[in-house]
């Protein structure tokens, strides 16, 4: 099953490929825009089976969009593979934190 975005903000499926990346990115941006300013946006990645650089690119797009909207976002339940890609990309400080990242 191709990756998809489900509410409240869960990325699910086998793997996020280029074919669906733009649609998933846009859906996430819409969720960010509709989210409350009071609570950090929590993106759950537990149900995403495989990680790749496309996934990291979408997470970065959401991070930037949240910052533009002056909202906090945090990514939770990242797989070890996804953590490895994020670490290798030098994005750990932005995408992996115990506390929500501040724009």
User: What pLDDT is stored for residue 102 in this prediction?
Assistant: 44
Task: Report the number of secondary-structure helices (H) and strands (E) in the chain.
Answer: 4, 5
Give the domains, in start order, of the chain with CATH numbers. 4-95 (3.30.750.24)
Whole-angstrom Cα distance, residue 32 to residue 35?
Answer: 5
- pLDDT tens digit at each of 103 positions of the chain: 788 888 889 999 999 999 999 999 999 999 999 998 778 899 999 999 999 999 999 999 999 999 999 999 999 999 999 999 999 999 999 999 754 444 4
Backbone φ and ψ for 44, nearest 5 degrees, come out as -95, 125
Backbone φ and ψ for 70, nearest 5 degrees, come out as 60, 45
Q: What is the pTM of this model?
A: 0.89
Our measurement of the distance from residue 26's CA atom to the centroid of its chain's CA atoms, rounded to an integer in Å, reads: 12
């Amino acid at each position: 099953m191709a990756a998809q975005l489900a509410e409240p903000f869960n990325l699910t499926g086998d793997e996020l490929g280029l074919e669906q990346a733009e649609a998933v990115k846009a859906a996430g941006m819409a969720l960010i825009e509709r989210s409350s300013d009071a609570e950090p946006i929590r993106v759950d990645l537990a149900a995403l089976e495989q990680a790749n650089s496309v996934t990291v690119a979408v997470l970065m797009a959401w991070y930037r969009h949240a910052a533009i909207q002056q909202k906090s976002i945090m990514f939770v339940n990242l797989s070890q593979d996804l953590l490895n890609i994020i670490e290798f990309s030098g994005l750990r400080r932005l995408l992996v934190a115990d506390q929500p990242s501040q724009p």
